[in-house]
Chain A
Amino acid sequence: MTRLGRWVGKHLMITLGLLVLLYMYIPNFIVALMSFNDASQSRNLYQFQGFTWDNWLNPCDPLGMCESLRVSISIGLAATLVSTIIGTLAAFALVRHRFEGRSTMNLVLFLPMATPEIVMGSSLLALFVAAGFGGQLGFWTILIAHIMFCISFVVVTVRSRLGGLDSNLEKAAMDLYADEWQTFWRITFPLVFPGILAAALLAFSLSFDDFIITNFTSGQTVTFPMFVWGAAQRGVPMQVNVIGTLMFLVALGAVIGGEVMSRRRARGRVRAAS
């Protein structure tokens, strides 16, 4: 009985865990499969009809899809840039400085993460309308909204990296006659950089994928999620699945590539040291 118990304890959890992981991947399998679906003969777009390369060869066929993709990427990049800079500065202030209003600021940064998107989206719409911008919703109002909800996530990510930093490294640099700027750029910044990069990646994926807040602030501008939403009413073109699969592969490649590179660099550093 105890041996059986031990076996169960050892393998049951990992088996169950892998099953949960598998469940999380079912939609991705379906999306990848449907990207090869030949839907030209049928109107039933929620069934696999036959295999074709066409969707992959002509990804921009559906009217407006690639345009919406370009809008999403531009907004994503701009929102990432601005929110990463603003958020990183704020993280430095919160970790390295004691100032009046610090706990209030912590609360203000926490709130957007604890507010349902629909409340934030509708409140922004209420503001834009009250301020007389109701007729000018578009690229800029979407960008403003995206920067707003990305800032908190950037601060949290960079802050956790900065908080775990050994401040003795900076003190050592100062002891070796580095001035403050040298210490910052040679020691602090390189050590925090992985955190900033992770924050930027998170900000981009949040912005690129956002639908609810965008829906309230977009006016006539169509982002990729807005395109998918609009298309879902009529039947989604199969090329949407191509983009979905492509995004997944690019992101996975970037994460794996980054991991391999940081490992190689670490190995190089060990070799240089010895």
Chain B
Amino acid sequence: MASLQRVFGKNAAYLLIGPAAIWLALFFLFPMLSLLTTSLSDPAGNPITGYDLTWRIQNYLEALGDYWPYLLRSLLYAGIATVLCLVLGYVLAYAIAFKAGRWKTVMLVLVIAPFFTSFLVRTLSWKLILADNGWLVETLKALWILPEDGRLLATPIAVVAGLTYNFLPFMILPLYTSLEKIDPKLNEAAADLYASPFQRFAKVIWPLSLPGVVGGTLLTFIPATGDYINAELLGSPNTQMVGNKIQALFTTASDYPHASALSVILMVMIVAMVLYYVRKAGTEDLL
């Protein structure tokens, strides 16, 4: 790389970063701008001829007025799924980081391996697990956990379970990276000073793993909020999330302006929540 520096002088860095910068500008930043202008266009157009930019702010009010329950539902489902992922993911990441010994690498590979099977195929298999006459529903009914006419498929439980399952690895990997850096001697030192296992966790392990907790919850919450696959395959019309609505407005209704407005609202909501959360957690260096 130093020879590049000699030939091109100070511009070497720009030659290297150039292609990535141009690609992301053209196909990430520019589309965002396009989304913004579409969201302010007159809905009385169609995708083939395009839409006229009339600075129609009403699109936002209409989208918000019509679809706010979907937005709330998305935040609720994604929030519950994120908490469940945090609990399950913390247990597994902790076990790999501190208890797996020489099996550490094997277990890490095992965490990632299931995800080479297409995620749509895996999500569809939950349909079978949660099916009305499946063994899970029958067992829960036998244990009186589920009422006689109860079901799992097409309920919010199924959607949240699907989200939790699908985004769990996004939680585990950052948690593991954080936990793995903690010196086990700190834990031993706390034990020598008569800290109970609970105190050791609350005062030593948990605070030191916070960067992983913040990273993991963001990587889980953001994609889960925008997801519509789980709601579509495992849910019912009553469990649709904002992603379902955006997708339907774009593809079946061809109402691009309102769909774009809803997309922008979702994006702004997520950015606002992420910024607030990161500031609150005090890990701004994450960005």
What residues make up the interface of A, taking CB atoms closer than 8 Å to B? 5, 9-10, 13-14, 16-18, 20-21, 23-28, 30-31, 34, 46-47, 85-87, 89-90, 92-94, 96-99, 105, 107-120, 122-127, 129-130, 132, 134-135, 144-145, 147-148, 151-152, 155, 179-181, 183-184, 188, 205, 208-209, 211-212, 215-216, 224-225, 228-229, 232, 236, 240-241, 243-245, 247-248, 250-252, 255-256, 259
Q: In chain A, what residue has the closest Cβ to B226?
A: A116
- Chain B 217-240 interface residues, beta-carbon cutoff 8 Å to A: 218-219, 222-223, 225-229, 233
Contact (Cβ within 8 A) A16 B91 = yes
Stretch at the interface among B59-67, B122-130, B143-151: B122-130
Known contacts A16-B95, A211-B120: does B113 contact A251 (CB below 8 Å)? yes
Contact (Cβ within 8 A) A114 B1 = no
Known contacts A27-B126, A97-B13, A116-B223: does B121 contact A21 (CB below 8 Å)? no
Candidate in A27, A89, A243, A247 with the most chain B CB atoms within 10 angstroms: A27
Contact (Cβ within 8 A) B28 A148 = yes
Contact of B27 among A9, A34, A124, A228 (CB under 8 A): A124
A152 and B225 CA atoms in complex are apart in Å by 21
Contact (Cβ within 8 A) B21 A105 = yes
Contact (Cβ within 8 A) B91 A20 = yes
Q: In chain B, what residue has the closest Cβ to A10?
A: B99
Q: In chain B, what residue has the closest Cβ to A228?
A: B120
Contact (Cβ within 8 A) A122 B250 = yes
Contact (Cβ within 8 A) A184 B267 = no
Q: Does B140 reach chain A (CB closer than 8 Å)?
A: no
Q: A18-B95, A144-B27 are in contact. List 16 more A-B contacts (CB 8 A).
A: A5-B197, A47-B133, A93-B16, A108-B25, A108-B28, A116-B270, A119-B267, A120-B31, A124-B31, A125-B250, A126-B34, A127-B31, A129-B256, A179-B3, A236-B124, A252-B116
A to B CB contacts below 8 Å, 30 in the list: A9-B197, A24-B165, A27-B129, A28-B117, A28-B122, A31-B117, A46-B128, A87-B20, A92-B16, A97-B12, A97-B16, A99-B10, A99-B14, A111-B28, A114-B222, A116-B227, A118-B228, A120-B28, A123-B35, A127-B34, A132-B50, A147-B23, A148-B23, A180-B6, A209-B115, A209-B118, A236-B121, A240-B121, A250-B116, A252-B109
Count B-side interface residues using an 8 Å CB cutoff: 93
Q: Does B110 reach chain A (CB closer than 8 Å)?
A: yes
A181 and B20 CA atoms in complex are apart in Å by 23
CB distance from B176 to the nearest CB of A (A): 11
Contact of A184 among B1, B50, B105 (CB under 8 A): B1
CB distance from A180 to the nearest CB of B (A): 4
Chain B residues with CB under 8 A of A118: 226-228, 243, 246-247, 263, 266
Contact of B32 among A123, A152, A247 (CB under 8 A): A123
Chain B residues with CB under 8 A of A129: 38, 47, 50, 256
CB distance from B153 to the nearest CB of A (A): 9
Q: In chain A, what residue has the closest Cβ to B131?
A: A46
Q: Does B30 reach chain A (CB closer than 8 Å)?
A: yes
Q: In chain A, what residue has the closest Cβ to B132?
A: A46
A99 and B12 CA atoms in complex are apart in Å by 10
Known contacts A114-B218, A248-B117: does B107 contact A21 (CB below 8 Å)? yes
Chain B residues with CB under 8 A of A94: 17
Contact of A229 among B29, B37, B120, B223 (CB under 8 A): B120
Contact (Cβ within 8 A) A116 B117 = no
- Chain B 1-49 interface residues, beta-carbon cutoff 8 Å to A: 1-3, 6, 10, 12-14, 16-17, 19-21, 23-25, 27-32, 34-35, 37-38, 47-48
